[in-house]
Amino acid sequence: MARKPRQHVNPLSARYLVPRAHRIEPPAALGPDPPCDVELGCAEGAFSFALAERDPERLVVGLEIRERMVARNQARARALGLRNLVFAYANLQVDLHRVFAPRSVDRFHLLFPDPWFKRRHGKRRVVSPYLLGTMARQLRAGGEVHVASDVFEIALSAMEAFDGPAGAALGFESLAPGGPWGFVRDNPYGVVSRREAITLRRGQRVWRLRYRLAAPPENP
């Protein structure tokens, strides 16, 4: 019987620091440069499956550090015949830069990213200067980053990264109705991740951020 995927792994343990993620090429049926959404830390991939089913012309990629989870999702996507849906291993703190060509992604979704919310685990948080810089290189001009969390402290630290000087220098502009340092109430993408569904069912608040890459750096 297949073993259950582990609940959590430490992305900074020696095993996960070795870069081994691979470049993802769009499936031939979608043409060379299809619209592309990426779910970062997708777990069982509910958001990715729903998006791929709704929009068959769009390449949807779910990236996850837990390899058993990746294998399960790949098998399910094959069984459903979803040829626009790709699941792959990546450690978002180490090797995302290997996965996509510059200016090939339209939207990154970082949804309920982080089980490490205690202060002493701060350095394991997924939103890092490496991740921001990599997304800024891989997004197309006008591309988006969508972050959501049920943990206010995590959302706030992501906001600090994007709305602060480093995020602004990379070209990120807030899409919050009130401008920078604001949250976005509604989910405009029409599909929800498993964790978002659970949070809403519990009547809890989703702390959502959206950014557009307004002015990509000259030399990716």
Q: Which residues are catalytic?
A: 114
Q: Which stretch binds ligand SAM (CB under 6 A): 111-119, 157-165, 174-182, 207-215?
A: 111-119
Q: Which stretch binds ligand SAM (CB under 6 A): 23-31, 86-94, 165-173, 204-212?
A: 86-94
Q: Which stretch binds ligand SAM (CB under 6 A): 79-87, 89-97, 153-161, 207-215?
A: 89-97
Q: Applying CB under 6 A, what is the total number of residues that bind ligand SAM?
A: 21
Residue 107 touching ligand SAM (CB under 6 A)? no
Residue nearest to ligand SAM (CB): 41
Q: Residues near 105 by Cβ (< 8 Å), separated by ≥ 6?
A: 36, 37, 38, 135, 138, 139, 140, 143
65, 127, 170, 209: which one binds ligand SAM (CB under 6 A):
65
Residue 113 touching ligand SAM (CB under 6 A)? yes
Residue 149 touching ligand SAM (CB under 6 A)? no
Of residues 163 and 196, the one with the C-beta less far from ligand SAM: 196
Of residues 70 and 136, the one with the C-beta less far from ligand SAM: 70
Q: Which stretches of the chain bind ligand SAM, using CB under 6 A?
A: 11, 39, 41-43, 64-66, 90-93, 111-113, 115, 126, 193-196
